[in-house]
Amino acid sequence: MNAPLAGLLVVSLEHAVAAPFCTARLADAGARVIKIERPEGDLARRYDEATIGGSSYFVWCNRGKESVVLDLREEVSREQLRKLIARADILVQNLKPGALLRLGVLPDQQARDEQGLICCSITGYGDSGPLAARKAYDLLIQAESGLASVTGSSEPARVGISIVDIATGATAYGAILEALIRRSRTGEGADLRISMFDVMAEWLTVPLLNSEAGRPAQRVGLAHPSIAPYGVFSTADNRQILMGLQNEREWQAFCIKVLASPEVLEDARFSSNVARVANRKATDDLVARTFSQLTREEAIARLSAADIAYAEINDMTALSRHPHLRRITVPTAGGPVSFPSPPVIEADKPRRYGKVPALGEHTQRVLAEIGPTSPG
């Protein structure tokens, strides 16, 4: 009961990633999350076969929840859902816009206000506007929002993870926490509407404003569009190091301690970050020449001595054995599965992470709690 959200009940009509990512965070924080699934189950259960407990997506985003199967085509199931929602503190859903209203399972606004219900609806494009009825998935929003146009090198590219879903789920989580804080003061609930397109458009503010100012974003791969030098450089032993600077103090230290060429500080082409970006090729060539004469160990030693930020270019094999990777292990129907730990650390209060539910595992128990149902 010491968990931040202990005692709160969440009912979630969710599938795929965005809403489940949000409610997994609520479950991690101690809320009781009842996940409503169709008879065939959340489609994410079958996305891949990466773990013994089910798909990588489902195991990751559904720990600590209770799975209840309801066939909402049937009135008895809709009435059971109404009774669950009537007991809930939070309702999360990412069905098609208007689906809950059409099903007739939402209490009216007055009842929601009296209950203090926080309702969070996640959609692709919102409830109104020219694209409101269009289906939306992560990659489609990456394309529609313009994210793909600033990703990759020679051609538009997908970000390598479901960034739109994750960003939307995190936004929903934050909005729900804000609503909970307000409810604690006023007793008011909330009707939160979050669209995947809005989330990604807001995240694209910097390239959008630059484009509107006449400086359209360019795809630069593992370089930074606004800072130089900031990119990947190869050492004499063919190792790649990604390094970048943030200010003129670091540039001065870089020239003296890494390039061993203090005279570069007098070159007008490199006198400021704006100048270095305008002369990016010359800047990068200058850095590349030095790195090409150093081994990996020598380059890292110089960067460390100058207090310059750097990283090595790792893949998933390297991440799997990375010394900084923290893991959790959660039970699943197929056995324990280990994966990266959620990032929140509360000193002296370690978190517990619940089991990934089998389809319908908690249906009988949860429905017994709400008692017999007599629709109509």
pLDDT digits (tens, 9 = 90+) for 232-246: 999 999 999 999 999
> Which H or E run contains 19?
helix 18-28
Measured CA to CA, the distance from residue 376 to residue 312 in angstroms comes to: 64
Looking at the domain assignment, is residue 3 inside a domain? Answer: no
Looking at the domain assignment, is residue 213 inside a domain? Answer: no
Looking at the domain assignment, is residue 212 inside a domain? Answer: no
Whether 125 and 84 map to the same domain: the answer is yes
pLDDT for residue 109:
86
β-bridge pairing 118-123 and 32-37: unpaired
pLDDT for residue 376:
53
Whether 87 and 124 map to the same domain: the answer is yes
CA dihedral 55, 58, 63, 67 (to 10 degrees): -110
Whether 299 and 343 map to the same domain: the answer is no
Looking at the domain assignment, is residue 142 inside a domain? Answer: yes
Whether 144 and 115 map to the same domain: the answer is yes
Looking at the domain assignment, is residue 119 inside a domain? Answer: yes
pLDDT digits (tens, 9 = 90+) for 67-102: 999 999 999 999 999 999 999 999 999 998 888 889
Confidence band, pLDDT 50/70/90 cuts, at residue 136: very high
Please state the rounded mean pLDDT for residues 24-51.
96
Q: Which residue, of 277, 312, 347, is where some domain finishes? A: 312
Please state the rounded mean pLDDT for residues 333-344.
94
What are the tokens at 114?
Answer: 């009296």
Residue 284 is classified by DSSP as H
- Statement: the pTM of the whole predicted model exceeds 0.85: yes
Strands of 240-244's sheet in order across: 230-234, 240-244, 309-312
> Which H or E run contains 370?
helix 363-370
Please state the rounded mean pLDDT for residues 331-351.
92
pLDDT digits (tens, 9 = 90+) for 235-294: 999 999 999 999 999 999 999 999 999 999 999 999 999 999 999 999 999 999 999 999
Domain that holds residue 183: 9-205+325-370
> The CATH number of the domain where 261 resides is what?
3.30.1540.10
pLDDT digits (tens, 9 = 90+) for 105-135: 988 888 888 899 999 999 999 988 999 999 9
Whether 20 and 153 map to the same domain: the answer is yes
Q: Using alpha carbons only, what angle is made at residue 321 by residues 318 and 322, rounded to the nearest 5 degrees?
A: 75
Measured CA to CA, the distance from residue 177 to residue 172 in angstroms comes to: 9
Whether 198 and 246 map to the same domain: the answer is no
Residue 54 is classified by DSSP as B
> Which H or E run contains 310?
strand 309-312
- Reply yes or no on whether the pLDDT at 373 is more than 80: no
Whether 189 and 266 map to the same domain: the answer is no
What residues have CB less than 8 Å from 64, skipping those under 6 apart?
24, 27, 28, 33, 330, 353, 354, 355
Phi-psi category of residue 206: left, alpha or beta, with phi > 0 → left and psi -120 to 50 → alpha: alpha
- Residue pair 336/279 in contact by the 8 Å Cβ criterion: no
pLDDT digits (tens, 9 = 90+) for 147-195: 999 998 888 999 999 999 999 999 999 999 999 999 999 999 999 999 9
What are the tokens at 285?
Answer: 């060539």
pLDDT for residue 347:
86
Looking at the domain assignment, is residue 333 inside a domain? Answer: yes
Identity of the amino acid at 56: S
User: How many distinct structural domains can be found in the chain?
Assistant: 2
What are the tokens at 310?
Answer: 């750097």
Alpha carbon of residue 232 to chain centroid: 25
Measured CA to CA, the distance from residue 353 to residue 2 in angstroms comes to: 14
Whether 72 and 195 map to the same domain: the answer is yes
- Reply yes or no on whether the pLDDT at 374 is more than 70: no
Coil, helix or strand at residue 96:
coil
What are the tokens at 180?
Answer: 């909970």
Confidence band, pLDDT 50/70/90 cuts, at residue 55: very high
Whether 20 and 164 map to the same domain: the answer is yes
- Reply yes or no on whether the pLDDT at 1 is more than 80: no
Coil, helix or strand at residue 232:
strand
Q: What are phi and psi of 125, to 5 degrees?
A: -130, 15
Whether 266 and 123 map to the same domain: the answer is no
Q: Kindly tell me the burial class for residue 117, based on how many C-beta atoms sit within 10 Å of its own C-beta (0-12, 13-18, 19 or more).
A: buried
pLDDT for residue 375:
54
Whether 57 and 163 map to the same domain: the answer is yes
Whether 48 and 123 map to the same domain: the answer is yes
pLDDT for residue 315:
92
pLDDT digits (tens, 9 = 90+) for 293-303: 999 999 999 99
> The CATH number of the domain where 126 resides is what?
3.40.50.10540
pLDDT for residue 66:
98
pLDDT for residue 289:
96
pLDDT for residue 118:
97
pLDDT for residue 226:
87
Looking at the domain assignment, is residue 36 inside a domain? Answer: yes
pLDDT digits (tens, 9 = 90+) for 314-325: 999 999 999 999
Looking at the domain assignment, is residue 271 inside a domain? Answer: yes
**Would you give the end-to-end CA distance of the chain in angstroms?**
38
CA dihedral 59, 366, 98, 23 (to 10 degrees): -30
- Cis omega (within 30 of 0) on the bond before 225? no
Q: Which residue, of 312, 337, 359, is where some domain finishes? A: 312
